[in-house]
Chains A and B, each alone.
Chain A
Amino acid sequence: MRAYTDKKDVQKKAYYTDRYWVAPQVPKSTVESDEVFAADLEAIKAKFDVIEAYIQVKQMVVMIKPEDNYGVLELLKDECDYTQLSEMSAIDWIADKGQLEVFYQLLSMNKRKRIRVKCFIDQEQAVESVNPLFRSADWAEREAYDMLGLKVNNHPFMKRILMPDDWEGHPLHKTYPLQGDEFAQWYEVDKIFGKEARDIIGPENRDPAMVDRYDTERFGRLGHEVPRGAEPKESKGPEPTTPLAYQEDDGVFMIEKFEEEKSVVIRDRDR
């Protein structure tokens, strides 16, 4: 398990804010000011609860209950002609209210209108997958899970999409550290060499962990450099040999076995 347990918002903060400064608002207008949006909103209101609705920067924003997400999107797709789900993701409000804000960005090409359907959802709660309505939700929901830990019910293939399958934590959480924590820092070393190799490799050689520490030819001896091809210093006892072996005992099909004893190391660069 990773050691990191801090639950505070660790994101960068403004280091100075004037105490009398009040942030202005992006202007909102009422839905009634636009006929098309007003009709769409009526259609939603007839069947579902609408918590809040307004128009901001030419697009209607509708706040609904999280359990209605599938129903509302189905209605918008089938009856209101919103044929495309351009984007779907979430916003982390866990520090403030223990909730994620999920948004669905919809586009109607016939009406040339865009709607954003939003809902707040508790961190432990799950939304219903809208994959049967819009196939684009398949990857969008996987990304929202990967990045923000959004739980989705009835998704056909719920798996991390951008981070590795065995990654711990969700990078877009405000609590997620900005510098790689222990798990992230040692991820490749753990995968390739195993946890026990952490001490041998050491943090200074962590990133080029693939490089043989005793190889003087390929700049592997960070902090212990010797001239090219020279013998490493004897200070730490005799240097062990690094055998190269194939998995198959009898060699690999079609590949001639490399015999170390017969090989020659050319030390003269200019030859």
Chain B
Amino acid sequence: MQQTNRLRPFFENITFDRDDNELVLNFGPQHPSAHGQLRLMLHLQQEQIVKAHPDVGYLHRGMEKMAENMIYNEFMPTTDRMDYIASSSNNYGFALAVEELIGLEVPRRAKVIRMMLLETNRLMSHLFWLATTALDIGAMTVFLYAFREREYLMDLIEDYCGARLTHSAVRIGGVPLDLPDNFMGDLRKFLEKLPENIKDYEDLLDTNRIWKMRMEKVGVISTEMALSWGCTGPMLRASGVKWDIRKEEPYELYDEVDFDVPYSDKGDNYARYKIYMMEMRESAKILHQLIPMYFDTTPELMAHAPKYISAPKIDIMTQNYSLMQHFVLVTQGMRPPVGEVYIPTESPKGELGFYINSQGGPYPYRLKLRAPSFWHTGILTDLLPGHYIPDVVSIIGTTNIVFGEVDR
């Protein structure tokens, strides 16, 4: 029986503090521009923010706890749910951390395919960012165009692994599948069109008066502040630090491809917007270079390490020892050596790090997910005061936070 008096409707969104004329505004967690589940408690003097408390945790699923009770391969689909806009980058970050822990070398073709997945995911994420941020600011047209291009990429990923959002397309030790026949052709076609599309977005936004008013000199993050708050990725690069993990601490084949790291010393929303646009071009450049690299490789897809990785399907079906090994690896799980690693990768949002402490068991003893968005949400505490209410939306937009990753 419902006790109606315990569920009384009342206006919890606004309270007036009569003493000092300060207004407390509760922004979210269901606000459409809160990018999921962000709740902000804003203390206002007139329309100016004097204090901001970001409140997170509405999407907390306890992934670190889940990881401690799963075998390593079992955890892979869970990583999809972190940054669900670019889930292959999470898969990859986890796979790379476990590979470093057990010291595996991945076959070259798998590396190329992984890089293709990472860069298509970066494009997807940036397009999604552009679409939603433009929509938040009020530019509906850009939203439609950017989602159209993102749809092509999703189709491409779907052709590869069958999923559109939660890919699980990377395995520890390699990738599960080779690229389908139509993949390269479709990718080429897409890459031919992409520069025009990016130019279209820029034509719509770059000199747009409203866009510039909402973006320029709004949400300025100084270099010290960005470093101190642990900002990474485009957030840090827009604040004058030229730091891209792909370039500085290269993993996979990023040292073999040629690309630039765009950065800016402005630190405002507009700088971040420009960096996202430029990064899309760089990703396209990397993808262009990957196509011939793919054809130079031999067809191995998974590393050969019988202690940790199952043999190829053909061996499992024909050879007794491979079948036994596979059975043990599936039922008990692999047992990485005792030790710990912290492996950072450059996800579309910033530095995605996996800290794994293994005690030699089939379950990680401790797994810490270092998600970039967590710190990009934290910085709102220091960033928002001094700004006005409409700036909140554009600042949240350009921080590009995804709550699957903040709350984990």
Which residues from chain A sit less than 8 Å from chain B, CB to CB? 11-16, 23-28, 56-57, 59, 61, 83-87, 89, 91-92, 103, 105, 109, 112, 114, 116, 134-136, 138-139, 147, 160-164, 171-172, 176, 178, 192-194, 197, 200, 212-214, 240, 242-247, 252
Within 8 A of A (CB), among B18-58: 56-57
Decide if B342 touches A139 in the complex (CB within 8 Å). Answer: no
Cβ contact within 8 Å between A86 and B248: no
CB distance from B50 to the nearest CB of A (A): 16
Judging by beta carbons under 8 Å apart, are B69 and A162 in contact? no
Would you list the 6 A-B pairs with minimal beta carbon distance, nearest first? A26-B339, A23-B360, A136-B230, A162-B57, A247-B8, A24-B337
> Which of B80-88, B122-130, B192-200, B375-383 contacts the other chain?
B375-383
Quick one: given A105-B353, A246-B9, are A135 and B229 in contact (CB under 8 Å)? yes
Does A136 contact B339, Cβ atoms closer than 8 Å?
Answer: no
A sample of 16 inter-chain contacts (CB < 8 A) reads: A11-B68, A12-B70, A14-B361, A23-B359, A23-B360, A25-B338, A61-B340, A86-B344, A87-B370, A103-B355, A112-B249, A138-B381, A162-B56, A162-B57, A162-B60, A252-B9
Contact across chains for A213 and B363 when beta carbons are under 8 A apart: no
Which residues of B60-91 have CB atoms within 8 Å of chain A's CB atoms? 60, 62, 64-65, 68-70
Whether B7 is near chain A, meaning CB under 8 Å from some CB there, is: yes
- 7 further A-B pairs in the complex, CB-CB below 8 A; given A59-B342, A136-B375, A162-B57: A86-B342, A92-B366, A139-B374, A161-B57, A163-B57, A163-B60, A246-B8
By the criterion CB–CB under 8 Å, are B2 and A134 in contact? no
B361 adjacent to A161 (CB under 8 Å): no
Q: Which residues of A contact B1 (CB under 8 A)?
A: 200, 212-214, 240, 242
Q: Are B363 and A12 in contact, with the CB atoms below 8 A?
A: yes
Which of chain A's residues have a CB closer than 8 A to the CB of B360? 23-24
Would A161 and B362 be within 8 Å (CB), given that A57-B341, A114-B342, A138-B378 are in contact? Answer: no
Q: Please measure, in the bound complex, the distance between the C-alpha atom of A172 and the C-alpha atom of B4, giving whole angstroms.
A: 37
Shortest C-beta distance, A236 to chain B (Å), equals 11
Q: Are A147 and B64 closer than 8 Å at their CB atoms?
A: yes
A23–B337 CB distance below 8 A: yes
User: Closest Cβ of chain B: how far from A209's Cβ, in Å?
Assistant: 9
Q: Is the CB of B230 within 8 A of A134?
A: yes
B357 located at the interface, meaning its Cβ lies under 8 Å from any Cβ of chain A in the complex = yes
B68 touching A25, Cβ below 8 Å: no
Known A-B contacts A139-B374, A171-B65; A243 and B4 likewise in contact (beta carbons under 8 Å):
yes
Q: How far is the CA of A56 from the CA of B101 in the complex (A)?
A: 10
The CA-CA distance from A246 to B5 in the complex, in Å, is 9
B209 within 8 A of A: no
Q: Does B365 sit at the interface, judged by CB under 8 A? A: yes
The answer to whether B10 has its CB under 8 Å from any CB of chain A is yes
Take A86-B344, A240-B1 as given contacts and tell me if A25 and B353 are in contact as well, using a CB distance cutoff of 8 Å. Answer: no
* A196 and chain B: residue at smallest CB distance: B3
A28 to B374, CA, bound (A): 31
Q: Is B297's beta carbon under 8 Å from chain A?
A: no
Q: How many Å lie between the Cα of A40 and that of B117 in the bound state?
A: 38
Counting contact residues on chain B (CB < 8 A from A), the size range is 35 or more
Bound form: Cα–Cα A217–B243 in Å: 57
Across the interface, do A197 and B3 meet the contact criterion of CB distance under 8 Å? yes
- With a CB–CB cut-off of 8 A, which chain A residues contact B70? 12
Residues on the A chain within 8 Å of B207, using CB: none
Tell yes or no: B100 within 8 A of A by CB. Answer: yes
Chain A residues near B2: list those with CB within 8 A: 193, 212-213, 242
CB-defined contacts of B333 to chain A, threshold 8 Å: 14
Interface pair A139/B6, CB less than 8 Å apart? no
Contact partner, B230, options A61, A86, A109, Cβ 8 Å: A86
Residue contact A86 to B341, C-beta cutoff 8 Å: no
A86 in contact with B370 (CB, 8 Å) = yes
Q: Which residue of A lies closest to B351 (CB)?
A: A86
Cβ–Cβ < 8 Å partners of A91 in chain B: 357, 365-366
Contact assessment for B7 and A86 in the assembled complex, using a CB-CB cutoff below 8 Å: no
Contact A136 B57, CB 8 Å, known A24-B338, A172-B64, A240-B1: no
- Bits for B227-263, please: 1 = Cβ < 8 Å to A, else 0: 1111010000000010100001100000000000000
Question: B212 on the interface (CB 8 Å rule)?
Answer: no
Instruction: Report B18 CB to chain A, min CB distance, Å.
Output: 18
- Given A23-B337, A84-B227, A162 and B407 contact (CB-CB distance below 8 Å): yes
- Chain B residues contacting A178 (CB-CB under 8 Å) are 65, 69
Interface centre among B10, B230, B333, by most chain A C-beta atoms within 10 angstroms, is B230
Question: Which residue from A13, A116, A171 sits with its C-beta under 8 Å from B342?
Answer: A116
Shortest Cβ distance from B16 into chain A, in angstroms? 14
A161: shortest Cβ distance to chain B, in Å?
6
CA distance A59 to B338 in the complex (A): 16
For residue A90, which residue of chain B has the nearest CB?
A: B366
Neighbouring A residues of B8 by C-beta, 8 Å: 245-247
- Find out whether the CB atom of A11 lies under 8 angstroms from the CB atom of B342: no
Residues of A within 8 A of B10 (CB): 247
CB-CB under 8 A from B229, the residues of chain A are 135-136
Do residues B355 and A105 form an inter-chain contact, with CB atoms below 8 A? yes
Interface centre among B1, B10, B100, B338 (most CB of A within 10 A): B1
Query: In the bound complex, do residue A247 and residue B9 qualify as a contact, i.e. CB atoms below 8 Å apart?
Result: yes
B304 at the interface (CB under 8 A from A): no
Residues B378 and A136 in contact, CB atoms below 8 Å apart: yes
**B368 contacts partner chain A, Cβ-Cβ < 8 Å:** yes
* Residue from the list A25, A136, A192, A200 in contact with B7, Cβ < 8 A: A192
A26 touches B341 (CB 8 A): yes
A87 touching B342 in the complex, CB below 8 Å, given contacts A192-B6, A245-B4, A246-B9: yes
